[in-house]
Structure 1
Amino acid sequence: MFDTETDVACAEVGAADVLAAQARLRPYLAATPLHYAERFGCWLKLENLQRTGSYKVRGAMNALLAARERGDTRPVIAASAGNHAQGLAWAGHRLCLPVITVMPRTAPQTKVAGVAHWGAAVRLHGDSYDEAKAFAVELAAQHDYRLLSAFDDPDVIAGQGTVGLELGELAPDVVLVPIGGGGLASGVALALKTQGVRIVGAQVEGVDAMARALRGDHSLRDAEATLADGVKVKEPGRLTRRILGGLLDDVVIVREAELRETLVRLALEEHVIAEGAGALALAAGRRVAGKRKCAVISGGNIDAVVLAQLLADVRPRAPRRPRRRF
């Protein structure tokens, strides 16, 4: 993570970095499968089946490996609503490197337990990602930890971009990506934009900091409550904002009701379990035309109680009465 705006302005990440990340990650992470959701008319990139249940492990592992190549062996600390922390914990476990994670007290217990399972130290602080982030910055300064952003870091962005490289064989004309801080969308755009692929971001109504920033509105607003806790970011990344300002084709703002419906339909019709942020790109895809479109299902770490409640709220449809033929 960068300490000043100057550091961000000087940072560079490009398609070559994404290719380098793919080479680093190959011994550790397998490519995730594609699934065609016929009822949605859309391909799904199933990052919910990735290690730790989310694409975030790609960026975390690439960042640790790249740092090791540079000789940086400091303990790593990160703020996360859950998936970045889990990915970093697993990467630290595999590489035998110390990891500290700061998570908001509101983080789903499923994700907190996942981080602890891989041996990372967990500090719960604040009621939002942004409060957890401020505390992580403070701890890093006190103890000389390496502060690793969940999205605003060149190595993290390059690692997330490997999702896009894996879509090469599909040859999509449009790829839909959920956006919180913008790391995944930035990496996928770097990987695919030169191939003429349209990159469309997805955000939730009231949790649309990146969309507003790209329109020139840099005011900070408290994010509204949402099922998509993984994209609940008050301030998007500076580096990611710069990348997406040049490469993103559009942003679709999804209503919370649309997101909930999509998540339930994914589970019942496609047998794909996604968390709120994981279903966001597909929800946006219902408004985007494309002959060969693909939505990134970014994660599947949904709290079991939340999923059970969503499914319990589904009202069964009454069977259709047969039409009389005479």
Structure 2
Amino acid sequence: MIDLKNIYEAKEAIKGIVLDTPFSYAPQMSEYSGLEVYLKKENLQITGAFKIRGAYNKIASLDKSQMECGVIAASAGNHAQGVALSASKFGIRAVIVMPESTPLTKVNGVKHLGGEVILHGSNYDEAYAYAMGFAKENSLTFIHPFEDEKVIAGQGTVALEILDKCEKLDAIVVPVGGGGLISGIASAVKQINKDIKVIGVGASGAPALKNSFDTGIPQDSLSVRTIADGIAVRDTSKITLDHMLGSVDEFISVDDEEIASAILFLLEKQKLVVEGAGSVGVAAAIHGKLKHLKGKNVAIVLSGGNLDVTLLNVIIEKGLLKSHRKMNVTVTLVDKPGSLKRFTEILEELSANIVHISYDRTSISLDYGDANVTVHMETKGEEHQNEIRERLEKEGYLRR
């Protein structure tokens, strides 16, 4: 464990720079999940994520010569912004190596904070390898996102803030990528109250640390694939794994479907924009993976809110389709005046709100004189959609 004294020192070091983010009860989520849920909203942090805590604590500890040379980091985005902002507070150079697939919003965020961005590699680990070589060549101090005691101590300040506000806590649920956040939180929690359970949640598409935790042996993945880019770590850190094996009670996984539904749940029910990595704890709660904590007081860390708006649009559209609030129908009409008018009149009678129509008369699968019409419409639920299908079948537009 990280010594509790070091975590309290980190709390002093980041004071005035890092926000003590809101921590509040979530009644709708509590009712939905059967837990007594409290949300720690690190998505509202100054950089949109918890990472600035560890980054600032580490940079504040550098000596004069290290400050003069500057720092470098490898990150998918949140650690990058934390390092860039922290470096700017000390007036020093910050170089950030980011995977080429990093969302533009995160790249621009780093640049806005004064960081020099280098895009390299298809994932974090490839960016990391490049950054290590660049650091050596340019005498820069590498600021690791999780394999550093100063960084881990900084992340542990999240737990201190939670425990200051909620004395009767049974468990803390923490997103896990490289393991720095949960290592810091678990170190603090277990030294303050060992009866509080610390539960990690990772993405099933990035299983290395979960597999390592389950077996007690470091294991790496050949590749990662998840919408939770902030926790898409391919290789296991032995340092954070050792911390976790000593202080974390449980580690569970959620898939991309569950993560996407959690993002949408938070947006609709909590009015919060939370990225995939920050939503995994909520995904576990609303999909019944924390049933053994029913009725218990559970804090869930929303670790970041830097969500790519393009991905958000996809999640919203898919979510509306899955919840029967949107419906797409394709029918074949005779390509003559009045055919489309009659079809849309039926939809009007059924109170379906058309939002988009596409008209195709050139597909090679069509007979001459026919056209495929695809209609995207807003509906009022599954029963309404069944009513629409039955009417269109009756009128001969759809086949059973």
Residue in structure 2 matching 1:26, options 9, 12, 15: 15
- Give the aligned partner of residue 119 of structure 2: 124
| Match of residue 143, structure 1, among 138, 141, 148 | 138
Distance in 2 separating the partners of 1:216 and 1:312: 40
Give CA-to-partner distance per residue, 1:107-158, whole Å, 9 cap, x none: 1111000000011111000110000000001111112211111111111100
Write out aligned runs for 1:162-241 (5 A).
Answer: 162-168=157-163, 169-171=165-167, 172-194=169-191, 195=193, 196-214=195-213, 215-241=215-241
Deviation, 1:223, is 3.4
> Higher relative contact order at CA 8 Å, sep ≥6: structure 1 or structure 2?
1
| Counterpart residue number, 2:314 | 309
Secondary structure of the corresponding residue to residue 149 of structure 1: coil
Alignment of 1:156 with 2:151, yes or no, is yes
Q: Which residue of 2 aligns with 1:94?
A: 89
Is the CA contact (8 Å cut-off) linking 1:161 and 1:184 kept in structure 2?
yes
What's the CA shift for 1:166?
A: 0.2
Offset, 1:319: 8.1
**Rounded Cα–Cα distance in structure 1 between residues aligned with 2:51 and 2:41:** 13
Contact 1:129 1:233 in 2 (8 A): yes
Classify the secondary structure of the residue corresponding to 2:47. helix
SS at match of 1:119: coil
> Are residue 295 (structure 1) and residue 300 (structure 2) matched?
yes
Give the superposition deviation at 1:198: 0.5
Pick which of 107-116 and 166-175 moved more: 166-175
Q: Is the contact between residue 180 and residue 236 of structure 1 (CA under 8 Å) also seen in structure 2?
A: no
In the TM superposition, residue 224 of structure 1 has moved relative to its aligned partner by 3.0
Question: Is the counterpart of residue 257 in structure 1 residue 257 in structure 2?
Answer: yes
Distance in 1 (alpha carbons) for counterparts of 2:11 and 2:24: 22
Which letter does structure 1 place at the counterpart of 2:166?
L
TM-score by length of 2: 0.74
1:238 Cα shift?
A: 2.2
* TM-score, with structure 1 as normaliser: 0.91
Percent same amino acid among aligned pairs?
A: 35
Per-residue deviation, 1:217: 4.4
- Mapped to 1, the partners of 2:315 and 2:264 lie a distance apart of 7
SS at match of 1:40: helix
- Matches of 2:97 and 2:229 in 1, distance apart? 15
Name the amino acid aligned to 2:316: L
What's the CA shift for 1:320? 7.7
Match of 1:28, as an amino acid? Answer: I
More displaced 10-residue stretch of structure 1: 198-207 or 284-293:
284-293
- Greater strand fraction, Structure 1 or Structure 2: 2
SS at match of 2:219: coil
- Residue in structure 2 matched with residue 3 of structure 1 by the alignment: none
Q: 2 CA distance for matches of 1:217 and 1:284?
A: 25
Offset at 1:240? 1.0
Asked whether the 8 Å contact 1:176–1:285 carries over to 2, the reply is no
Post-superposition offset of 1:222: 2.8
Residue 318 (structure 1) aligned with residue 381 (structure 2):
yes
Helix, strand or coil at the partner of 1:78: strand
Q: Which has the larger radius of gyration?
A: 2
Which amino acid is 1:253 matched to? S
Matched residue, 1:242:
242
Distance 2:198 2:120 in 1: 35
Between the aligned partners of 1:31 and 1:76, the Cα distance in structure 2 is: 26
Give me the CA root mean square deviation. Answer: 1.7
Tell me, which stretches of 5 or more residues in structure 1 are unaligned? Answer: 1-11, 322-326
* 1:324 matched residue in structure 2: none
Which amino acid in 1 is paired with 2:89?
A: R
SS in 1 for 2:299: strand
